[in-house]
Amino acid sequence: MNTVIASANANIALIKYWGKRDEFFMLPTKSSISVSLDALKTTTEIGFGNSDTIKLNGVFVSDNANVKILRFLHVFRKKFATYKSFPNSSIQDTSLQYKYLQDSFFQINSVNNFPTAAGLASSASGFAALAKGLNELCGLKLDSKELSILARRGSGSASRSIIGGFNLWHKGVCPQGSDSYSEQIFKADHWPDLRIIITVVQAKQKPISSTQAMQVTVKTSKIYQDWLRNSERRVKLILDAIGNKDLDIVGELAQIDCLEMHETMRTSNPPINYWTDKTVKIIELVNKLRASGVQCYFTIDAGPNVKILTLEKYQDKILAELKNIEDIQTIVSGVAGD
């Protein structure tokens, strides 16, 4: 097999992931709940090569700019070097199999159909697609749990992009993360009329990465532990509400969790604020529309871009109102399938 093509969808966290208990194994401080987005996708072509080369959206990226991907490939080679099925049936000797993988390099060509590194979970879909591609290229036959654990080593939220639908990322307690993975709780067809309107107010790369912002927040925010406890309690509540397809409860819980998470950033030292004036305008518009009887709620990840949770019957009304805010892009998404 010369090359394979794999894809994965971005996700948004309804109950957030913000902070790691272990940086090396990428283990979260708490569990989180996400929904996969069928409109946001990464497609990755991967094959063997003479060195690790990485193209992102058609452009070769330097080693320095791809430390996370190179580190992930190192983790992959080390973790699966002795995998018995890898990858060539003509190599029977285990020591030769080990050397084959240790000496292997990969050519990666990854394309996002949405803005990269702008707070729209491009790292989640990117590392999930990469994990899927490596699994297929190398004949590892990993199941969804194992793939989720592998993808997590590249980006925590990537663990939630392996499978579509609604996912629970288990915090886990094991030191090396064998029990920290995402599990699909509801399939995409559970809630077919749910819509997520992504408003892109700023497509350029964020001024501070999620990784850096998390580290600062966990270390310095005096309210971080309070958010952690409150957010963990919301996990079961929102799962029950998703099960009942109750948008009002899902939306209220998602908004509260989002606002409290961003408040932990603002109370960090130095303070971190991803929002722009347009972020605030969209929040105000959502609140105004909801007060007028339109079911809609907002959530915001690590960036300025707002995601609006609503139902199909309301999307045209919301889109029409959003047109009054200049220079924003809107993307309408349903829930992505497997």
Whole-structure pTM value: 0.91
Domains of the chain: 3-189 (3.30.230.10), 190-333 (3.30.70.890)
- By CB atoms closer than 10 A (0-12, 13-18, 19+), residue 264 is buried
Work out the number of other CB atoms within 10 angstroms of the CB of residue 285.
Answer: 20
> Nearest CA to 34 among 117, 158, 217, 127?
158
For residues 316, 280, 298 and 23, what is the CA-based torsion angle, rounded to 10 degrees?
Answer: 140
Task: State pLDDT tens for residues 244-256.
Answer: 999 999 999 999 9
pLDDT for res 97: 46
pLDDT for res 104: 83
Whether the CB-CB separation of 119 and 301 falls below 8 Å is answered with: yes
> 338 or 108, which is more confident?
108
Phi (first) and psi of residue 209, to 5 degrees: -70, 160
Inter-helix orientation angle 122-137/67-80, to 10°:
30
pLDDT for res 186: 98
SS3 category, 296: strand
> 207 or 234, which is more confident?
234
Region 41-70: mean pLDDT is: 88
Per-residue pLDDT band for 30 (boundaries 50, 70, 90) equals very high
Cis omega before residue 270 (within 30°)?
yes
Work out the number of other CB atoms within 10 angstroms of the CB of residue 222.
Answer: 10
Beta strands in 16-139 (DSSP E): 20-22, 27-28, 32-49, 53-56, 59-60, 105-112
Task: State pLDDT tens for residues 260-274.
Answer: 999 999 999 999 999
Do the bridges between strand 182-186 and strand 194-200 make them parallel or antiparallel, or are there none, so unpaired?
A: unpaired
Residue 86 has pLDDT above 60, yes or no: no
Whether the CB-CB separation of 136 and 130 falls below 8 Å is answered with: no
pLDDT for res 102: 60
Whole-angstrom distance, CA of residue 211 vs CA of residue 230: 22
pLDDT for res 83: 53
Task: State pLDDT tens for residues 302-336.
Answer: 999 999 999 999 999 999 999 999 999 999 999 99
Whole-angstrom distance, CA of residue 214 vs CA of residue 265: 8
As a whole number of Å, the CA-based R_g of the chain is: 20
Specify the length of the chain in residues. 338
pLDDT exceeding 70 applies to what percent of the chain? 91
pLDDT for res 37: 97
188-217 burial code (b ≥16 CB/10 A, e <16): beebeebbbbbbbbbbeebeeebbebbebb
Type of residue numbered 94: T
Per-residue pLDDT band for 78 (boundaries 50, 70, 90) equals confident
pLDDT for res 89: 39
Query: In angstroms, how far apart are the furthest CA atoms of the chain?
Result: 70
Average pLDDT over the chain, rounded to an integer: 91
Residue 94 has pLDDT above 60, yes or no: no
pLDDT exceeding 90 applies to what percent of the chain? 78
Measured on CA atoms in the order 288, 291, 293, 296, is the torsion positive or negative? positive
pLDDT for res 118: 55
